[in-house]
């Protein structure tokens, strides 16, 4: 009985983990699209599009969990790179553009390990190291550039 409970719990937590990737991507963009884009209507509207994509991605992931792994990865990449491409082509300059690009490159480099799980020893752990590094770069960029008054406290 306990083994069955643990396998159900593991399955549930795995679904939650995958759903949180969509939330994490959307929440990484949201501060920049909310605070730094008052002059650009397209970027202001993109903040709602990114959350809609997160909801659609979570819904897809819950219905087709682990069935179409490459499509799932493609959704993550479209959601992560699509807004970045729009931001870059809009010529809107965020004060931390270098930090944002560095964080994005760390995420992209980590995707190699995400897809190498089971083929490269510790690939999943290495993927999470890239995620932690990228998230730290993005967090510090938000702290330094969107809320500079918090640095002095």
Q: Where are the domains of the chain?
A: 1-92, 95-153
Q: What is the pLDDT of residues 31-49, one digit of tens each?
A: 888 876 667 788 888 889 9
Q: Is the pLDDT of residue 92 over 80?
A: no
Phi, psi angles (nearest 5°) of residue 117: -55, 125
pTM reported for the whole predicted model: 0.81
- Quote the CA–CA distance of 58 and 20 in Å, as a whole number: 8
Q: pLDDT exceeding 90 applies to what percent of the chain? A: 34
Question: Tokens 């819950």 — which residue?
Answer: 62
Q: Calculate ∠ Cα 75-115-68, nearest 5°.
A: 45
Q: How far apart, in Å, are the Cα atoms of 126 and each of 18, 105, 131, 136? A: 17, 15, 9, 15
Q: How confident is the model at residue 70 (pLDDT cuts 50, 70, 90)?
A: confident
- Quote the CA–CA distance of 3 and 63 in Å, as a whole number: 24
Q: Is the pLDDT of residue 99 over 70?
A: yes
């Amino acid at each position: 009985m306990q083994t069955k409970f643990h396998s159900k719990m593991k399955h549930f937590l795995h679904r939650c983990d995958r759903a949180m990737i969509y939330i994490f991507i959307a929440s990484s963009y949201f501060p920049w699209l909310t605070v730094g884009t008052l002059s650009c209507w397209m970027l202001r509207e993109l903040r709602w599009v990114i959350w809609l994509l997160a909801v659609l991605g979570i819904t897809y992931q819950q219905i087709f969990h682990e069935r179409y792994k490459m499509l799932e990865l493609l959704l993550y990449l479209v959601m992560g790179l699509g807004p970045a491409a729009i931001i870059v082509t809009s010529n809107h300059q965020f004060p931390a553009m270098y930090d944002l690009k560095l964080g994005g490159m760390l995420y992209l480099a980590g995707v190699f390990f995400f897809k190498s799980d089971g083929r490269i020893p510790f690939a999943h752990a290495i993927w999470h190291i890239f995620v932690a590094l990228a998230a730290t770069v993005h967090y510090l960029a938000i702290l330094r550039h969107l809320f500079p008054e918090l640095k002095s406290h």
